[in-house]
Structure 1
Amino acid sequence: MDLQTEIRGDALFVTVTEKRIDAAVAIQFKDKMRDVAENGPVRVVLDLCNVDFIDSSGLGAIVGTMKLLGKDRRFELAGLTPNVDKVFHLTRMDTVFTIHRSPQSAVAEISNAS
């Protein structure tokens, strides 16, 4: 599982470079997210624009990451592809997470908040 990270403004952006977050990589994903976000900024944005498929294990790993970050940190999503967006909508997880159309729109929110 390869994740790319970048600090933009007050946020840590984490880009998933894999096409799938499923049972085969869910634990590895969660471990990597813990490593990259552990001592980072209060705001973490997960860029999913490369992910075409997510199953219940992948969804669980993303929710688990949110729980790992705790209530004092913001965990947001960006760039959901149509298939991934459908999973978040059907499971109503789109009501739990702040979801940005793209990483660029999440960056724009940083600029507008300043």
Structure 2
Amino acid sequence: MIKTSVHEDLGLCVVKPTVERLTAANATTFKEEVIALLDQKHDRLVIDLAEVSFIDSSGIGALVGVLKRVGTRGEIVVCNLASSVQQMFRITRMDRVFSAYRDVDAAIQALKERA
């Protein structure tokens, strides 16, 4: 359900859900797959939501669960948010929790600057 691209030189991993809708039907699977990455010591993540056109509270909850699992040992940012996904982030105030960037390159650059 996710594609990953590991950037060892930068110490980060790009995670791309390959679903159009991140909802109760697949949020648990998404969360488990991302947590498996965290267990492999990939704790600086860019979540690329380019293919996701809709996210519900379960999808948001999965992202929050991953963020809690990362804790202070890493960082998670999101990018490529469709307008409906941006709206859900605003409604749930997750736009104050997750840093969002226009694309993967901008997200990677931001993480590089924070390293």
- Fold match by TM threshold 0.5: yes
**Aligned length, in residue pairs:** 113
SS of 2:13 mapped into structure 1? strand
Q: Deviations over 1:34-53 (max 9, x none)?
A: 11232233411111011001
Answer whether contact 2:46 2:108 (CA < 8 A) is retained. Answer: no
SS at structure 1 position matched to 2:73:
coil
Q: CA deviation at 1:112?
A: 5.0
CA distance in 2, matches of 1:107, 1:75: 11
Q: 1:111–1:63: structure 2 CA closer, same or farther, 3 Å change rule?
A: closer
1:43-91 C-alpha deviation (Å, 9 max, x unpaired)? 1111101100111111111101111112211011111111101100111
Quick one: distance in 2 between partners of 1:22 and 1:83?
13
Quickly say closer, same or farther: Cα 1:112–1:62, change in 2 above 3 A.
closer
Conserved? CA contact 1:5–1:36, under 8 Å = no
Q: Which runs of 4+ in 1 moved over 4 A?
A: 110-114
Paired letter, 1:3: I
Aligned AA (1:16): P
CA distance in 2, matches of 1:14, 1:56: 20
Per-residue deviation, 1:10: 2.3
Q: Deviations over 1:20-40 (max 9, x none)?
A: 110111111111111123223
Whether 1:5 aligns to 2:29 is: no
In the alignment, structure 1 residue 56 sits paired with structure 2 residue 57: yes
In the aligned structure 1, how far is the partner of 2:2 from the partner of 2:20? 12
Q: Is residue 2:33 matched to residue 1:32?
A: yes
Match of 2:110 in 1: 109
TM-score (norm 1): 0.89
1:104 offset after TM fit, Å?
A: 1.5
Q: Which runs of 5+ in 1 are unaligned?
A: none
1:76 aligned partner? 77
Runs of 5+ unmatched residues, structure 2: none
For 1:100, the equivalent position in structure 2 comes to: 101
